[in-house]
Amino acid sequence: DLTSDRAALLSLRTAVGGRTLLWTTTQQSPCGWAGVQCDNAVNRVTALHLPGVSLSGQLPVGIFGNLTRLRTVSLRFNALSGPLPSDLSSCVDLRNLYLQGNHFSGPFPEKFFSSLRHLVRLNLAGNNLSGEISNDFNNFTRLRTLYLENNRFSGSLPELKIPNLEQFNVSFNNLNGSVPKSLQSKPKESFIGNSLCGSPLEKLCPSKEDVPPAVSVDLSRNRKKKHGLSGGAIAGIVIGSVLGFIVLVLLLFIICRKRSSNKTTVVAKLTDAEVLGEKPLTGGSNGFSATAAASTAAMTASSATGGGEACAPKKLVFFKNSSTVFDLEDLLRASAEVLGKGTFGTAYKAVLEAGMMVAVKRLKDVSVSEPEFREKIEFVGAMDHKNLVPLRAYYYSKEEKLVVCDYMPMGSLSALLHGNKGGGRTPLNWKVRSAVALGAARGIEYIHSHGDDVSHGNIKSSNVLLTKSLDACISDFGLAHLVGPPSTPNRVAGYRAPEVTDPRRVSHKADVYSFGVLLLELLTGKPPTHALLNEEGVDLPRWVQSTVKEEWTSEVFDLELLRYQDVEEEMVQLLQLAIDCAAPYPDNRPTMSEVTSRIVELRGASQVDNGLNPDQVHGLESD
Ligand SMILES: Nc1ncnc2c1ncn2[C@@H]1O[C@H](COP(=O)(O)OP(=O)(O)OP(=O)(O)O)[C@@H](O)[C@H]1O
């Protein structure tokens, strides 16, 4: 009954921990616990969805022996090890077993094949399982999916006469022999990485009885070749080695020259300073002071040569909506710390002597001319909205281009959701997440209100920064138009709309797509570059869509969110909006103003504005 189901789940939690530790054990019924589903009619636990939640260790025997009404077990992408639990065979109703991406080892347990006769989907890929893939799989007459790739299965493949088997993969094991007839219609990729032969693989199977004579001759020739190298081969190897050596010497020469020329530039100083890293540093040895020193050098140089007539004077230029409360000298004296490296350069936090904190971005690879730079940055600097990170000033010289904006004390949404080098994840409750979604949407809507050709172009969770009161502000707006194409294009790949081929040619609709991915990230807690997605070779929107289609909507949501059952309807509505935004065809995506009104609507009239205080960021812990 439900009491023994509950006890079994608690033993699971004790044994493998992970984010099951968030379960509120004061609740008598386990049915509200994240990842646990019950069937009210029979009052039993019927599904366990705990993918990618850091479970680790062995599954002790006794857990599945009690959870006998399970139909779905999904413990994919954890760090579970040891043998597959032998009492899985008690779950005779089991339809779906997803254990891929763990460290399970050893052979299939006894009775595995005789008991689990209802299995429809079996995915054990990416473990260390061994033993043979036996004839017993034919017991699973309803099987549609059989994924066993990336394990250590050995021996030959049996004939599998399973009528509805659609998805099949045994690649990258230690299998040998020929591909049986019943599996020859499967794609070649399902078998590669083994010593298998025969169709659909290109490798023919040698057969003792009827090897045609021509083939025997070939084989013997090959064998002969192995004994010694021909003159031609020896000459090839000698020439290859000499060429390789010359290339190596040339490379070393180029690297040495580069190093010695760099030594005289400030860039070298900066690189050293950046290695010093995150600790606040004072004095001339820190990264930012080095930058500023470069700026001063540039300033001196330009005033010495009289500067260009067309160019404005080399000083910190403040935007109209900012008061001039510090100057370049103050920035020079500020203590600074590297916040991180982005596509457009390095960001620093600078603490001015008056205690004021600003973020300074040192832009690299600025590709536009000085007048164009000034015109574009002035345009961006004139923007003023509650949900945009306020720009304060900029600096332009031949050597240095700096942009100064407000420092956002709560950091980025990405750091809160996924943790960063300084700390782990911060539990964010539904109220915070939906407020962040709304704030970010309003920021983007404001940018779009400046015209059809004004888009952000780089919407992602590290560009959504939070104020002390957890208002979301969009950052990095306009920088994409100032710099050359990013040297690391993949950084935004997970957010980029499919139609965008040149990252500088962006559109409102492409921003909407990126925002959709950001919403999915907020809801699932998974970054668009999550290992689970890479393993499955899909992007976040496609993963969510396929999971929703299989009616596992609850598996999509971040476990932390599943605690708030009273807002499930709102969550599902936001999920739908996210999917609409990430539609493959730009014309099918809503506009940003439609997006904001839908978020306002789904959050309900009670939650006007953000109305949060910083303590609510820890809302989950206080529960
Ligand atoms: N104004 C700011 N206040 C606080 N942190 C900031 C500020 N601006 C940037 N950061 C943080 O500094 C780091 C580097 O930011 P940056 O914008 O340079 O790169 P990014 O967002 O990682 O990538 P990209 O350049 O593609 O936007 C990020 O972690 C970002 O969250």
| pLDDT at 453 exceeding the cut of 90 | no
Task: Choose the residue to mutate in 463, 464, 467, 492 for probing ligand 1, maximizing ligand atoms within 8 Å of C-beta.
Answer: 463
| pLDDT at 535 exceeding the cut of 60 | no
H helix and E strand count, the chain: 17, 22
- Tell me if residue 128 falls in helix, strand or coil: strand
Ligand 1 mean position, distance from CA 298 (Å): 25
At residue 97, the pLDDT reads: 93
Q: What are phi and psi of 131, to 5 degrees?
A: 95, -170
| Between 605 and 118, residue with greater pLDDT | 118
**Amino acid identity for residue 313 in this structure:** P
At residue 173, the pLDDT reads: 94
The contacts of residue 292 (CB under 8 Å, 6+ apart) are 328, 331, 332
Task: Choose the residue to mutate in 476, 483, 518 for probing ligand 1, maximizing ligand atoms within 8 Å of C-beta.
Answer: 476
Of 62, 22, 69, 63, the C-alpha closest to 43 is: 69
- Residue-wise pLDDT for 250-263, tens only, equals 766 665 454 434 33
Highest-pLDDT range among 33-47, 155-169, 418-432, 539-553: 155-169
At residue 122, the pLDDT reads: 93
At residue 328, the pLDDT reads: 76
Query: Does the beta carbon of 514 lie inside 6 Å of ligand 1?
Result: no
Q: How confident is the model at residue 614 (pLDDT cuts 50, 70, 90)?
A: very low
At residue 564, the pLDDT reads: 66
The contacts of residue 392 (CB under 8 Å, 6+ apart) are 318, 319, 322, 358, 404, 405, 406
Query: Does the beta carbon of 340 lie inside 6 Å of ligand 1?
Result: yes
Ligand 1 mean position, distance from CA 481 (Å): 17
DSSP secondary structure letter of residue 591: P
| Between 527 and 104, residue with greater pLDDT | 104
Q: Which helix (H) or strand (E) holds 432?
A: helix 430-448
| pLDDT at 494 exceeding the cut of 70 | yes
Residue nearest to atom 24 of ligand 1 (CA): 342
* % of the chain at pLDDT higher than 90: 32
Q: How confident is the model at residue 131 (pLDDT cuts 50, 70, 90)?
A: very high
The contacts of residue 310 (CB under 8 Å, 6+ apart) are 370, 371
CA 356 from centre of chain: 34
- DSSP labels for 493-511? GGGS-TT--STTS--HHHH
| pLDDT at 292 exceeding the cut of 70 | no
300/266 Cα distance (integer angstroms): 15
361 is in an annotated binding site: yes
- In this structure, of 36-45, 56-65, 231-240, 283-292, the range with the lowest mean pLDDT score is 283-292
Of 592, 349, 572, the C-alpha closest to 459 is: 592
For 231-300, the three-class secondary structure string (H helix, E strand, C coil) is HHHHHHHHHHHHHHHHHHHHHHHHHHHHHHHHCCCHHHHHHHHHHHCCCCECCCCCHHHHHHHHHHHHHH
Ligand 1 mean position, distance from CA 262 (Å): 26
Q: How confident is the model at residue 76 (pLDDT cuts 50, 70, 90)?
A: confident
Atom of ligand 1 nearest to the CA of 414: 31
- Residue-wise pLDDT for 558-586, tens only, equals 777 766 667 777 888 899 999 999 998 99
Pairing of strands 56-58, 79-82: parallel
| Between 386 and 40, residue with greater pLDDT | 386
Q: What are phi and psi of 283, to 5 degrees?
A: 80, -175
DSSP secondary structure letter of residue 310: T
* % of the chain at pLDDT higher than 70: 73
Atom of ligand 1 nearest to the CA of 409: 4
Query: Does the beta carbon of 458 lie inside 6 Å of ligand 1?
Result: yes
| pLDDT at 233 exceeding the cut of 80 | no
Atom of ligand 1 nearest to the CA of 344: 25
- Residue-wise pLDDT for 326-351, tens only, equals 777 777 777 888 888 877 788 899 88
Task: Choose the residue to mutate in 346, 351, 412, 460 for probing ligand 1, maximizing ligand atoms within 8 Å of C-beta.
Answer: 412
Helix axes 540-549, 568-581, angle to 10 degrees: 130
- In this structure, of 106-120, 143-157, 205-219, 281-295, the range with the lowest mean pLDDT score is 281-295
**Amino acid identity for residue 130 in this structure:** S
The mean pLDDT value of the chain amounts to: 77
ipTM (interface pTM): 0.96
Rg of the chain over all Cα atoms, to the nearest angstrom: 30
At residue 609, the pLDDT reads: 43
Query: Does the beta carbon of 596 lie inside 6 Å of ligand 1?
Result: no
Q: What are phi and psi of 141, to 5 degrees?
A: -70, -15
- In this structure, of 188-192, 229-233, 605-609, the range with the lowest mean pLDDT score is 605-609
Say if CB 437 and CB 455 are below 8 A apart: no
At residue 433, the pLDDT reads: 92
Ligand 1 mean position, distance from CA 418 (Å): 15
| pLDDT at 612 exceeding the cut of 80 | no
- Has this prediction a pTM greater than 0.95? no
First to last CA, the chain: 28
At residue 556, the pLDDT reads: 74
At residue 587, the pLDDT reads: 93
Query: Does the beta carbon of 342 lie inside 6 Å of ligand 1?
Result: yes
- Residue-wise pLDDT for 149-190, tens only, equals 999 999 999 999 998 888 899 999 999 999 999 999 999 889
Pairing of strands 195-197, 464-466: unpaired
Q: How confident is the model at residue 227 (pLDDT cuts 50, 70, 90)?
A: very low
Query: Does the beta carbon of 491 lie inside 6 Å of ligand 1?
Result: yes
CA 176 from centre of chain: 36
At residue 553, the pLDDT reads: 61
Q: How confident is the model at residue 484 (pLDDT cuts 50, 70, 90)?
A: low
At residue 178, the pLDDT reads: 93
- In this structure, of 45-59, 292-306, 385-399, 486-500, the range with the lowest mean pLDDT score is 292-306
Query: Does the beta carbon of 463 lie inside 6 Å of ligand 1?
Result: yes
Peptide bond into 200 cis (omega under 30): yes
Compute the average pLDDT of residues 467-491: 73
| pLDDT at 196 exceeding the cut of 70 | yes
At residue 550, the pLDDT reads: 59
At residue 253, the pLDDT reads: 61
| pLDDT at 536 exceeding the cut of 90 | no
Q: b/e for 261-273, b at 16 or more Cβ within 10 A?
A: eeeeebeebbeeb
